Amino acid sequence: MIDHLNTFKGIVNQLMKIDMKIDDELQTLVLLSSLLESCDTSVATLSNSTPDEKLSSYIVTNSLLNEESRRKEREMSSHSKANDVKNRGRSEHISKGKIESYKEDPSLSL
* Closest listed residue to residue 58, CA positions, set 84, 28, 97: 28
Tens of pLDDT, residue by residue over 76-95, are 887 776 666 666 655 555 55
pTM of the model as a whole: 0.57
CA distance 26 to 49: 18
Q: Is the pLDDT of residue 13 over 90?
A: yes
> Looking at 1-110, which runs of residues are DSSP E strands?
none
Please report, for the chain, the start and end positions of each structural domain, with discontinuous segments joined by +: 2-81
pLDDT given at position 48: 73
Q: What is the pLDDT of residue 93?
A: 54
Question: Does 99 score more than 80 pLDDT?
Answer: no
CA–CA dist 77, 56 (Å, integer): 32
Type of residue found at 9: K
